[in-house]
Amino acid sequence: MAHCKSEQDDWLLAHLKYLLFIFNFFFWVGGAAVMAVGIWTLVEKSGYLSILASSTFAASAYILIFVGGLVMTTGFLGFGAIIREQKSCLSTYFCLLLVIFLVELVAGVLAHVYYQRLSDELKWHLNSTLTEHYGQPRAAEITASVDRLQQDFKCCGSNSSADWQHSAYILSQEALGRQVPDSCCKTVVARCGQRAHPSNIYKVEGGCMAKLEQFVADHLLLMGAVGIGVACLQICGMVLTCCLHRRLQQQFY
């Protein structure tokens, strides 16, 4: 006659539930961390995005926000599936873990690939942005981004302050005799860019190019590491989910 083992007698089932519950808690916290990294990148560092030629950096952040929200939602489903011991919910939970695992791997690989081509893109695009688009009537966002970049990173020009000598803005009458934009100045005051002396403006080896490259590289590696780290953690969760699902099937015979 078919009968069901009690949970008290099936110590393996109880331990699997506890382990999966602990995993799900850290999984949910990981999802919140993934979402936080994505939101922080877009909110705090969005001023630099218009300088980049590609939207891959922003896309990676949006992917992390989406995945983080999906992870947190899946975490709530996991808690319910574990407590209620429903095989159908566990199956759905496993499928969602697998989907999230694949999406996070894609995000991690995307960040790694973009990191490899980052230097060439910045060298090509940043210099043209400074010389052709800065200070132009229809490029207010780019102008603000470059000004913020130079002030935040304490740099001037793409490779050096001499890059501004070829800028359409500096060569125009709107510059009012400035040799560099005011944002190059150590202390920003009106028309301070008229004096391009090292005591007045930032003179940094490698210019803003090196600093921006390092900034984006660090953030892409952070996003990639977080995505791949949570993805690897999910392997344990999928294994535990399969074990619990199988144990629940063997519970009845």
What are 154-165's pLDDT values in tens digits?
Answer: 999 888 899 899
Beta carbons of 7 and 18 less than 8 angstroms apart: no
Alpha-carbon torsion angle 158, 163, 169, 170, nearest 10 = 140
pLDDT tens digit sequence for 127-137 = 888 888 888 88
Which of the listed ranges 61-70, 91-100, 102-111, 185-194 does the model predict with the highest average pLDDT?
A: 185-194
Burial 216-238 (b: 16+ CB within 10 A, else e): bbebbeebbebbbebbeebeebb
Query: What is the share, in percent, of the chain residues with pLDDT greater than 70?
Result: 81
For the full predicted model, state whether its pTM sits above 0.85.
no
pLDDT at 213 over 50: yes
pLDDT at 51 over 80: no
What is the domain range of residue 181?
A: 117-237
Q: Is residue 169 part of a domain?
A: yes
Residue (of 98, 126, 107, 116) closest to 222 by Cα position: 107
Q: What is the C-alpha separation between 51 and 74, in angstroms, rounded?
A: 36
Say which DSSP state 202 is in: -
Q: Is residue 52 part of a domain?
A: no
Q: What is the C-alpha separation between 219 and 45, in angstroms, rounded?
A: 10
Q: What is the C-alpha separation between 142 and 148, in angstroms, rounded?
A: 10
Q: How many CB atoms lie within 10 A of CB 240?
A: 20
CATH of residue 195: 1.10.1450.10
In the chain, the number of structural domains is 1
User: Residue 8: phi, psi to the nearest 5?
Assistant: -65, -35
Q: Is residue 173 part of a domain?
A: yes
Q: What is the pLDDT of residue 7?
A: 46
Residue 185 pLDDT level (bands cut at 50, 70, 90): very high
Q: Is residue 110 part of a domain?
A: no
Q: Name residue, tokens 């005799």.
A: 177
Per-residue tokens: 219: 């953030």
pLDDT at 219 over 50: yes
Residue 3 pLDDT level (bands cut at 50, 70, 90): very low
pLDDT at 1 over 50: no
Q: Is residue 45 part of a domain?
A: no
Q: What is the C-alpha separation between 78 and 56, in angstroms, rounded?
A: 32
Q: Is residue 96 part of a domain?
A: no
Q: Is residue 2 part of a domain?
A: no
